[in-house]
Chains A and B, each alone.
Chain A
Amino acid sequence: MNREHLRSLFTAKSARVDTNKGEAYYKNLYERCRARLDELKKITPLRNIDIAQVLEDEGISRRDFLKWASATTAMLMLPASFTPLVAEAAELMNRVPVIWIELQDCAGNSEAFIRADGPKVDEIILEIISLEFHETLMAPAGHQAEAQLEDAVNNFKGKYLLFVEGAIPVGRGREWCTIGASGETFEEHLKKLANDAAAIVAVGTCATFGGVPAAAPNPTGAVGVMDVVNNKPIINIPACPANPANIVGVILHYVLTGQIPELDSLLRPKFAFGYRIHDNCERRAHFDAGEFVEEWGDEGAQNNFCLYKMGCKGPMTFNNCSIVRYNESVNWPIGAGHGCIGCSEPGFWDKYAYERPMADANIKMAPNGGVEKSVDQFGLGLLTAAGVGIAIHAVASAVAGKKSEGEEA
């Protein structure tokens, strides 16, 4: 396998993301968005907050805000001409009610989303979305909380976005995990709330694919939302934890278009999951040059070389961490010298867990088998090809040694 071939393998734009859909398409979309925003403006906001005012109070200038809007427009893979619309949509975020529930989880996504941070503007906007109900943050106490939730559902029947954090135990764990005073199972709770939702957003790998609770032997029979709910549009935002920027992106897209964003076969928004970590990784040049970390703490590690040989799953993982990063964009896992663990991929907890290179990864199936089957065929093909390609590449580079780059190519 020669270098050119490898390069083409990894630089080939993923066929699934169509970033230019043609003028006619965008013109039509623009008009639809315009109409949608005008409609929204007529609705009395759920919470009467003037977002422009709040941003100003927080010391964010109009210019910063527009900068944010243009970055977000790009993230959503829309042409730059949509920037004013995105800005307007952000200001109308308080017109869409959101209900957030937690099932079998660790609360990490709520932490990442609401209490931690995101890029500054995102975070302020998230504070003013109309979070009608959030199980961890808002519920005062059990019975009162239940009444509050019921109110929110009744008031916004058919209109709210239901955010779900955590897996749903449908096996032996069904009876173990119940909600509140009613003793409803997670599954009943979810189905009930899903019935009246406009769409469901599954946040984090637990809610999307079962996550760590579904790790073999899956003691509770944990599955993701899409394995339980089949009568509503579902948007999956996997990763452990999910990136707040992608959560904002989804809400914003909904506000803007009244529709859910374009999804891949695993129901992930393409704007965030259209590329692999590897496609935009800051260490990519080292991968291409065959410069790898061979052991933790070695010279390569000190020089930020590629982590593939240390088990980095960036080449098999679809997500935008390499662009969006975490915690005010200050860093991300590969930035801290650890390979990607593939936490947004189905089955990462069994397939990829820890630093095993793909070649000898022991792929355990979750007992229900559901998640594995839904692996995107394209992704799977690529993954296998990439696995083989990289293994050869990595071996070759080790044999040739880093110095003999020139001859190797």
Chain B
Amino acid sequence: MKIELIEKIEGEAFLDVSCRQGKVRDAYVRFPHYRGIEKILVGRDPLDALVINPRVCGICGHAHLQATVRTLEKLAGFEPNEKVKKIREITRFCEMVQNHIKWFYLVVFDRLGLTYDFRTVHVMIQKINMLAAIFSGQWPHSSYALPGGVTCDPSQLEILQAKRLVQSVREHFVLLVGAFDIKNLSKDLKRLYDRLEERDLLYTGKSLDRFITFGSDSYVQSSKILHGKVRPAKLHNIREFGQEKSHAKGVTYKGKFYETGPLARTMLRGDLFVKQLHRRYKDSITTRIFARIYEVGTLLKKIDEHLRTIDISEPSYTPLEIPDGETMSAIEAARGSLIHKVCIEKGKIAEYVIITPTQWNLSNAKNGESSIIKKALIGAQCEATDIIFRSFDICSVCTTH
């Protein structure tokens, strides 16, 4: 039997699954939409990328903006000061937080037939977006970051306003999900766990147990886990390949597939809660889902820390010339590592490549190597395909760009 799952996730994705005796035998992912952003960038002034790239995605526009900025800065051999770094992290972490909360409730809870406190969820999203907008002007799509710094120059008053917002979001968050204590789950975490157990999904969706993260910031450092060992991850080992019947490219690291995203980040950071889950459930949907919501707490704490330690007297901007050349850099977006690669010749963009997190997680198998999504699906109950697929928090607009 063949089933075709069409997911509407910020765009559209097709999942072709063949089943036998209720179990998944084979799976193939296709992305039907395409805009040609990489082609659009060719021949343009490098700074144009700051307007075009955030619009790759309506959810992780900050990450695309910052990936562009960091790539251009790297070309100029420039490292921003602490203030700039903190402001950029605050806005990017806000974006990750709002994404995770939406995904947790609007996707996971919804799919598992669980109810939730819609109003509080809404208020949290609203406040976290307001917090970002204090620095970024608006969310989604903004242009406050540029090579050399940021355009905003927050006053003490704005920092105070931001602190209040993050405080309030943290309070709401704890009220909703309870504590991340594996032996003592309560509230929404407990309800989720119980539902997974009830439906016999706790151990479902195990994949290759390989993790990779390319971005480095105050939250996580670029590295990978293969066979349980942590090693540095190098950008030049990344290869993209075309996939049949899909506008998305697949991507490997030294010919192997890796999972990126919150599960990878929390594993690499060694967050106890996630490690404990992993010990028991490996990289199943349980660990994957819990890791993402766990990350919200850590990121909120980071935002708060940054707001308390930021030195607003430092300059927001340092003048910068962008030279010709070629380089690549990565940044952590909500769904995992986002990689931008640019080649500038005679002051114009000669080539621009965007590799998104979903490409890592949803590559189809190649050359006998099983891929993350394929491994997660094969052998699973056919009814579970939807939740396994969704556990990766897919974004198709990013992926096809």
Contact = CB atoms under 8 A, between A and B. Distances in A.
A212 B137 contact: no
Size bracket, chain A contacts = 35 or more
A105 B137 contact: no
Interface in A277-313: 295-297, 301-302
B44 interface: yes
A241 B140 contact: yes
Interface in B94-126: 98, 102, 106, 119, 122, 125-126
B4 A212 contact: no
B130 A330 contact: yes
A328 B126 contact: yes
A105 B134 contact: no
Interface string B278-318: 00000000000000000000000000000000000001111
A152 interface: no
Nearest to A104: B35
Chain A CB count within 10 A is highest, among B119, B137, B315, for B137
Contacts of B148: 296-297
Contact of A141 (B6, B48, B139): B6
A327 B152 contact: no
Interface string B252-270: 0000000000000000000
A379 to B, nearest CB: 21
Contacts of B9: 136
The interface size bin for chain B is 35 or more
B52 A104 contact: no
A343 B139 CA distance: 14
Contact of A222 (B35, B44, B50): B35
Contacts of A332: 137-138
Given A143-B6, A180-B6, A107 B11 contact: yes
Contact of B142 (A177, A297, A302, A333): A333
A294 B377 CA distance: 56
A327 B39 contact: no
A117 interface: yes
Interface string B14-51: 10000000000000000011111101100011011011
Interface stretch (A22-30, A260-268, A349-357, A387-395): A349-357
Interface stretch (B54-62, B171-179, B219-227, B365-373): B54-62
Given A108-B58, A117-B125, A330 B133 contact: yes
B316 A116 contact: no
Q: Which of A110, A111, A349 has the most CB of B within 10 A?
A: A111
B319 interface: yes
A206 B55 CA distance: 10
A220 interface: yes
Nearest to A328: B130
Given A115-B102, A296-B149, A220 B36 contact: yes
Interface string A162-177: 0000010000010011
Give the residue among A327, A338, A352 with the most B Cβ atoms within 10 A. A327
Contacts of B98: 116
Interface in B138-152: 138-144, 146, 148-152
14 contacts: A112-B58, A136-B9, A139-B8, A176-B33, A180-B6, A212-B40, A240-B55, A241-B58, A301-B153, A326-B137, A327-B139, A336-B133, A337-B151, A353-B44
Interface of A: 58, 102, 104-112, 115-117, 123, 135-137, 139, 141-143, 145, 167, 173, 176-181, 211-213, 215-220, 222, 240-241, 295-297, 301-302, 326-328, 330-338, 341, 343, 348-349, 352-356
